[in-house]
Structure 1
Amino acid sequence: MSFRDLRNFTEMMRALGYPRLISMENFHAPNFMLVAEVLLWLVKRYEPQTDIPPDVETEQDRVFFIKAVAQFMATKAHIKLNTKKLYQADGYAVKELLKVTSVLYGAMNTKGVERADVSEEDSSKFKFDLGSKIADLKAARQLASEITSKGASLYDLLGKEVELREARTESIARPLEINEAEKMMKIAIDCVLEQVQKTKDMLNNVALDEANLEAKIEKRKLELERSQKRLQTLQSVRPAFMDEYEKIEEQLQKQYSSYLEKFRNLTYLEQLLDDHRRTEQEMFEEAANMLRLMQNRLKEEEQHLLKSGNNDDSDADIQEDEGSDSEVEEGQIMKQRMATEALVQANPALGSQEVLLYKERTGTGVRMNVWKDGHQTGRCCLVGFVTLQPALSTQLEASLLLDVAYCNKFTCH
């Protein structure tokens, strides 16, 4: 797109009498509505009777409009337009529009119309109609093709004139024989009479066929009436197996209702079983987490007591040497019982259950087993254990019992 093309296009449109003023700024951005209006006006300039739909609201309508205009220009004015550039509706479309406007503008100049002297009002009244001339051109082309074909056929006939002249002269010169002519006339009359007789026979056959068809129709009607009566009789009679069928249908309905009820119950019980299993799994996981926390806490307290009890090891050894083993064990048992009783009194949630601590000596220290005994069930389960130093087992019994108190809600089998 160039400034000169825009200027030439606007000047040509003004000279051709376009009623709207076109500015050179209109095509800096795509303006499809203006391009469509200009194309429709140019098509009307070529042939006012053309029928191109002006609807360009949707994309499909725009594509159809551009194709119709391009086809019209190619067939009527022999102008090839680029549909892609026309659809862009920007400066590149001006070059395609110039192809049409330049032809109209050149035709106007050949008639001696000066662009500078024509005012806007006079140019709007200018009519440039090529419709009639295009129609005359089409008729002339058709006549030329007919003349060519007629001339070729006439030439062929003239070539046969020599032979036909001799045959025609011979036929005219030959005398007419009355007997032969009469014979030919009789033959022709006999042929006509034979055709007439055949036609009469066909008419008679048609009458017979009509009577046969009417008899067949009556017969079919009687059969139809008998079939309808038989159908009505069968519909009015109740079958013998109908009672048994209804009983079986009722039983089937009851069985189906029972099946639905049992299926719903089974589904409900399966759901309850899944919920129960999920609850037990959660309880087991919670118990395992509680035991893990207890073990971690005991390990931390053991490490803490090991660090803080290094200074008291010598005094504990002296006391152990002086006292007897039986007295130490009795004192530990008493402490265990007192801690257990205090735990039960402080935690009423334990109920009739008793928390027991069982200690057994190992090679590295004392192993403390924590048991929970239910008097109602007569069962007992091992909650947890921890291995301690002999000097620290007595001090950690109370803290271990406090941790065991949180496990009373779990039941082990």
Structure 2
Amino acid sequence: MSYRDLRNFTEMMRALGYPRLISMDNFRTPNFPLVAEILSWLVNRYDPTADLPQDIDTEQDRVIFIKSTAQFMATKAHIKLNTKKLYSADGYAVKELLKIASVLYSAMKTNQYQQDSGGDVGSTSVEISSKAADLKACRQLASDITAKGAKLYELLGKEVELRELRKLAISRSVNIDQLESGVQESISAVDTEIQKVSHILDNSASDEANLEIKIEKKKAELERNQKRLRSLANVRPAFMDEYEKLDVELSKQYELYVEKHRNLSYLEHLLEEHNKVEQNQMEETESSLRRVQQRMLEAEKRMIQDDILGSNDMLVSSNEFGKPRDGPHVIGSMTGGGLSDEDTGDSDLSDSGPSGLELDDEGDEQGGMGEQEDDDDLGSDDDF
């Protein structure tokens, strides 16, 4: 990239009316969006009907855009562009852009000169859109030239072998009989081919007639079936009245079934709730009965302990009362006569001991009876 090229390009773009200002620092680093915008603007300035891709977001889109632009300028304006330099989008791309800008700039200068000299502007303007047919013909001719060139290249490659065969054919004398026989064979082969083709045409005509007959038959069958369908659609079946009555009755029965099923579900739900409440009450009653039984058992235990303690106290007191005194007992009197039981008080003492023991035994028996009665009462509570 030279400073002069960059300066000339900026001046030409300003003269051509490019709407954006281009400075010399825009191409010091790669700037592909700016290059794509300038390239698209130049192509549209050259041919307003040009259809170029506008997507340049991805690498593949940029490559397609550069290739399509270079191909368009090569076919339309015969300007060969270097796609690698254009894709680099740096100072080297300015030289390629300058090729298009210089053509447009020179055309603009020529147009201005003709306007100044009073020439006809419309005679020099190039209308590519009006020559679309010529463009298609040129493209077809270019493709034909390419195909013919490839075929010519293949034939030229075989020229070394064909040269010898051609020399032998030229040097060999021509036999009229062989030539005539060859021509006759070719004619017979052509006649055979013609007969085959005519036979195929005759067969095709007969096949076409057969197909037309089949088509007519199918059409007639289709019409008959359509008429039958319309007649069946208009006829009311004999069981239709009964079907409608049964349908109405079925709808009523279904509504009744739904209502009963809903009520049954609700009653089952209420029964479940009632059973739950009764189960909870039974559990509470059982727990209260167990608590009462536990309290009664504890009271019975306390009563038994109290009775045992009372009986022990009575036994201790009776043993102290019936204990013999200390010292020898004197039986008799100073007179030497025996004493009767009435005169002595030992009889009372001796009787008090057994009597006291009997009382204790009776007290124990009474205590036992009391305990038995308490047990009977507890038993009755358990039964309760």
Shorter chain as denominator, the TM-score bin is: 0.3 to 0.5
Higher strand share: 1
Q: Whose radius of gyration is greater, 1 or 2?
A: 2
